[in-house]
Amino acid sequence: MRAGWEVVIGLEIHTQLATRSKIFSGASTAYGAEPNTQACLVDLGYPGVLPVLNAEVVRMATLFGLAVNATVARRSVFARKNYFYPDLPKGYQISQLELPIVEHGEMMISDADGNEKRIGITRAHLEEDAGKSVHEGFEGQSGIDLNRAGTPLLEIVSEPDLRSAKEAVAYLKKIHTIVRYLGISDGNMQEGSFRCDANVSVRPLGQQELGTRTELKNLNSFRFIEKAINYEIERQVDLIEDGGTVVQETRLYDSDKDETRSMRSKEEANDYRYFPDPDLLPVEISDEYIETQRRTMPELPDAKQARFENVYGLKIDDAAILTASRALADYFEEVVKATEASAQIAANWIIGDLLGALNREGWEIDDSRISAIDLAGLVNRIHDNSISGKIAKQVFEAMWEGEGDADAIIEAKGLKQITDSSAIEAVVDKVIDANPSQVEEYRAGKDKLMGFFVGKVMQETGGQANPGQVNKILKDKLKG
């Protein structure tokens, strides 16, 4: 940040809820279908049709509200937000304005100094998505695909509490993790299931009053969000320092040029002529309903991370990595259950080798070619000294290539560790006899040569001699 300035950021996140059918109709929400095959008369905005609320979205919004310590409204109201756009055949979007389903929540993130910081969540409201204009494959005209029209969204609005692009990303990642833990969204950013608009303003350090903000759109990856905000901070500070003023407007981020461009002037709520939708009853939920949902809440990421540190004794960073998704955390716990080795060793194999292999392929844990039980099998063979850590890497690769489980591979490739001391002694004798001058130098005080001898013994045994025993026997014999 430029000296003397402070940035203020508030995020609006659109999370697509993982329901099978749409928010007000029975049409499917599945992604990737042929255009306009998943839009029924309600989604197409035919006259005379009536929306019917999908109860699942209320359940999902309630879970989210509980997860962020918010008030879940006993009564919320759907409103029409009126505007014209080709992908919105009704001429209005059904959303919530004055009485949203979730209000006054919070989320803890860690700031630049690693301290806990509270970010207020103003509200989260339910709304329907619009359709899409399609330009590709059309000459001099545009197509309209209404498959996405009526897809349920939860819009999560933060207080202007974020003070850097990094904080914004940390907050966004945390919300992303939570909606996936709750199972209320797949969070897929490429498919647009998790989108974010960033409101950005700057002000001289120490000033109380907020500066004029711009709203950045088209931010579809964590990396671009950070870049777009940083670009916008520089642009606004430059502008003000040169004597200009920031105009309140909507700006589009162009990732190819790494810049933001003006898209349209900012509209106000009253431009939309919001009014309560007469076709939908207010949503009323009871305390009992909320308590029923509370009982189905899964363990959330912060609690899980703390448990992984306390119960399994994992390092903080490792606990954070392993709780990044529920699936990964479950995988880890399955490995731990099936092995006698320490949980930290299981964690090391998952974080180092398994996540490494998955990253190479661009895969998630669910795509892993090695099951938790099979990985535990490998860890067990290291733990009982059947193989060394080094040979285990080779076995891991073979498992990844689908050659079988650890025992089968160790057997088939003859990789079992040599722990028979007389066999190791024989090799050590051979190495000592073959390298008289090195032996002499070692005995004259050149301790460093130990590595040379260990290397030779390992070479002779194809890396299969037990390294601890090799060291001990070599030391004894070299003493002379």
> How many other CB atoms are found less than 10 A from the CB of residue 363?
13
CA separation for the pair 381, 416 (Å, rounded) = 9
8 Å CB contact between 48 and 203: no
- Interacting residues of 213 by C-beta distance below 8 A, sequence separation 6+: 8, 10, 199, 200, 201, 246, 248
Q: Which is nearer to ligand ADP, 126 or 200 (CB)?
A: 200
Among positions 2, 5, 6, 8, the unique one binding ligand ADP when judged by CB under 6 A: 8
CA distances from 281 to 11, 78, 276 (A): 29, 8, 9
Of the residues 93, 147, 151, 158, which one makes contact with ligand ADP according to CB under 6 A: 158
Q: Does 205 bind ligand ADP (CB under 6 A)?
A: no
Q: Under rule CB under 6 A, which residues in 12-41 are in contact with ligand ADP?
A: 12
Residue least distant from ligand ADP (Cβ): 10
| Contact between 236 and ligand ADP per CB under 6 A | no
Q: DSSP string spanning 4-17?
A: TEEEEEEEEEEEE-
Pick the piece of the chain touching ligand ADP (CB under 6 A) from 3-11, 176-184, 343-351, 452-460: 3-11
Among 35, 143, 160, 276, binds ligand ADP (CB under 6 A): 160
> Is 164 a residue that touches ligand ADP (CB under 6 A)?
no
Cβ(290)–Cβ(62) under 8 Å? yes
Among 23, 42, 157, 473, interactor with ligand ADP by CB under 6 A: 157
201: contact with ligand ADP by CB under 6 A: yes
Residue 105 CB, nearest approach to ligand ADP (Å): 13
Instruction: Answer yes or no whether residue 250 interacts with ligand ADP by CB under 6 A.
Output: no
Is 11 a residue that touches ligand ADP (CB under 6 A)? yes
Q: How far is CA 375 from CA 188, 322, 325, 341, 395, in A?
A: 28, 15, 19, 12, 10
Ranges within 278-307 binding ligand ADP (CB under 6 A): none
Asked if 353 and 363 touch (Cβ cutoff 8 Å), the reply is no
Q: Which is nearer to ligand ADP, 117 or 304 (CB)?
A: 117
For residue 13, what are the β-bridge partners?
A: 156, 196
CA 119 from chain centre, in angstroms, equals 19
Q: What is the DSSP letter of 352?
A: I
Q: In angstroms, give the least distance from the CB of 246 to ligand ADP.
A: 10
Number of residues that bind ligand ADP (CB under 6 A): 16
Give min distance, CB of 128 to ligand ADP, in A.
Answer: 17
Q: Of 60 and 246, which has the nearer Cβ to ligand ADP? A: 246
Choices 64-72, 206-214, 274-282, 462-470; region in contact with ligand ADP by CB under 6 A:
206-214
Structure tokens that stand for 224 in this block: 């671009």
What whole-number distance in Å separates Cα of residue 200 and Cα of residue 6?
Answer: 11
Both tokens of 62, joined, read 């309630």
Looking at the DSSP bridge assignments, the partners of residue 158 are 121
Binding piece for ligand ADP, criterion CB under 6 A, among 10-18, 73-81, 289-297, 469-477: 10-18
**Contact stretch for ligand ADP (CB under 6 A) within 108-116, 156-164, 185-193, 335-343:** 156-164
> Which residues in this chain contact ligand ADP in the complex, by CB under 6 A?
8-12, 157-160, 199-201, 210-211, 213, 269
